[in-house]
Structure 1
Amino acid sequence: MNHKRYASKFQRLQELIITTLLGDIPTIALGPKLRNLVYRRIFSRLGKPVYIQNDVEFLGASAIEIGNGVYIFKGVRMDAKGHPNNKIYLGNGVALERYVDIGCLEDTCISIDDETFIAPNVCIAGPGNIKIGKHCMIASHSGIYANNHKFADPTQPIKYQGITRKGIVIEDDCWLGHGVTVLDGVTIGKGSVIGAGSVVNKDIPPYSVAVGAPIRVIKSRVSKKDLVTS
């Protein structure tokens, strides 16, 4: 146990030194190239090439796996620390725009698959597991929250009643409009479109167009025949 604690502290110290020295070097001063080279020492995996702008914060980098051709822009925060089973995975060609915040809490896996685009100021947070498929587009100011607070007992503060953590799945080729909120326990089916400002509090069938708070499906993108043969 002491050995594991020492190794964890050493990893964190190495992470802090490397990110402090290189994290603020601006793009015009070869910062991305230096970070792409040296950050390999602290990540679980770092593909080639990976473009990381300045002012990006990584916590628990040893639990973060990044594929090839990933773009991470200024102000992004990725936090995988706090539990040995935490993991953040970015597939090949993923792009995280400015000020995206991705955070694990406890025993959490957050996975974003190949060529998915996350727009500015999106929050993706555990502790429930979150899986976002390939070729998805998540518009700015959206929130994907894999937990809910319990509040059944009115005699106790809500903050002390615990949480649920069922997890969230967003399947391949989904488009979430500006300001969408996705709540715990939800699966959004493949090829679905979620209108701006919607609150997704229930499962959405594949190839649906859905809007509203709470969400409702207003039409399908395909015919029943297409669904059977797909």
Structure 2
Amino acid sequence: MVKLVSKIISKIKHREYIIDENITDNDLFSIVFTRFFMLIRGFFATIGFKKRGKISFIGKKVCIKSKSHIECGSGLTINDNCTINALCKGGIKIGNNFSLGQNSIIECTGVIRELGESLVIGDNVGISANAFISVRGKVKIGDSTIFGPGVSLFSENHIFEDKSIPVYLQGATRKGIEIGKDCWIGANATILDGVKIGDGCIVAAGAVVNRDVPSYTIVGGVPAKTIKNR
């Protein structure tokens, strides 16, 4: 059974996938059973997408708003209790084999007087549980990038120069966020508006990134500073 399931997963992901030999048949059956119902939900939940791939897996209590703004490839996985509000000017474009961990939120618009810009996610991107992605400026995440649990992206900054006017009335800047290919963003890291992270970077757990990170650089701390190059 293990070999059969490995072959099926490899075909879906278009790359070799070998299940750990220590997994029991009972455990594997339970996983396959769960994924089967996710597949059924995926078929119905993605009806209304602007474009959808052949296979999608959707967990329980997933809320997807403004579906007509979403384009996704095959192998989409959205785990339990996730919320996606896709209402934005340029929509959401998701590549193949994207995974969104449970209890995560993708929020493309906060107020309807000013819609967010767009979100582009490459192939083979994995976002772990409890992520929060705020799409106000443009957000781009490159191929094969992975997020640890609790990562947050904020692509907007409030203006607060005039003390006589409440902050929420002073407007905001939206420079956007760009994360390159093959990056690892550690648990509970925060990426702020205007940041560009190059290819192959590692952001340490708990870091707050408020400036650009050159390719193949490891950063950490609050605010994030270079630790070393890869």
TM-score by length of 2: 0.80
User: How far apart are residue 40 of structure 1 and its match?
Assistant: 4.5
TM-superposition CA deviations, 1:103-150 (whole Å, max 9, x none): 112142111111011000000112101000011111111110100000
TM-superposition CA deviations, 1:84-103 (whole Å, max 9, x none): x2411221011101011111
- Residue pair 2:43, 2:56 contacting (<8 A) in 1 also: no
Q: Which residue of 2 aligns with 1:213?
A: 222
Are 1:174 and 2:183 counterparts?
Answer: yes
TM-superposition CA deviations, 1:149-169 (whole Å, max 9, x none): 000001111111111000000
Distance 1:38 1:45 in 2: 14
Q: Which residue of 2 aligns with 1:71?
A: 77
Q: Which residue of 2 aligns with 1:34?
A: 40
- Residue pair 1:31, 1:54 contacting (<8 A) in 2 also: no
Structure 1 gap segments, 5+ residues each: 1-26, 222-230
- Any residues of structure 2 matched to 1:2-17 within 5 Å, and which? none
- Residue pair 1:50, 1:69 contacting (<8 A) in 2 also: yes
Distance 2:93 2:137 in 1: 15
Q: Which residue of 2 aligns with 1:53?
A: 59
2:93 to 81, 89, 104: 89
User: How far apart are residue 45 of structure 1 and its match?
Assistant: 1.3
User: How far apart are residue 206 of structure 1 and its match?
Assistant: 0.2
User: How far apart are residue 207 of structure 1 and its match?
Assistant: 0.1
Letter in 1 for 2:72: I
Q: Which residue of 1 aligns with 2:172?
A: 163
Distance 2:155 2:221 in 1: 20
Q: Which residue of 1 aligns with 2:104?
A: 100
Distance 2:34 2:181 in 1: 35
* Alignment root-mean-square deviation, CA: 1.6
User: How far apart are residue 28 of structure 1 and its match?
Assistant: 5.1
User: How far apart are residue 41 of structure 1 and its match?
Assistant: 3.1
Q: What secondary structure does 1:41 align onto?
A: coil
User: How far apart are residue 32 of structure 1 and its match?
Assistant: 2.5
Q: What secondary structure does 1:178 align onto?
A: coil
- What's the % identity of the aligned pairs? 34
Structure 2 gap segments, 5+ residues each: 1-32, 110-114
- Residue pair 1:71, 1:96 contacting (<8 A) in 2 also: yes
- Residue pair 2:97, 2:125 contacting (<8 A) in 1 also: yes
User: How far apart are residue 29 of structure 1 and its match?
Assistant: 10
Q: What secondary structure does 2:41 align onto?
A: helix
Are the structure 2 counterparts of residues 160 and 54 from structure 1 closer, same or farther at C-alpha, using a change threshold of 3 Å?
same
Distance 1:163 1:112 in 2: 24
Q: How many pairs does the alignment contain? A: 193
User: How far apart are residue 37 of structure 1 and its match?
Assistant: 2.9
Are the structure 2 counterparts of residues 176 and 67 from structure 1 closer, same or farther at C-alpha, using a change threshold of 3 Å?
same
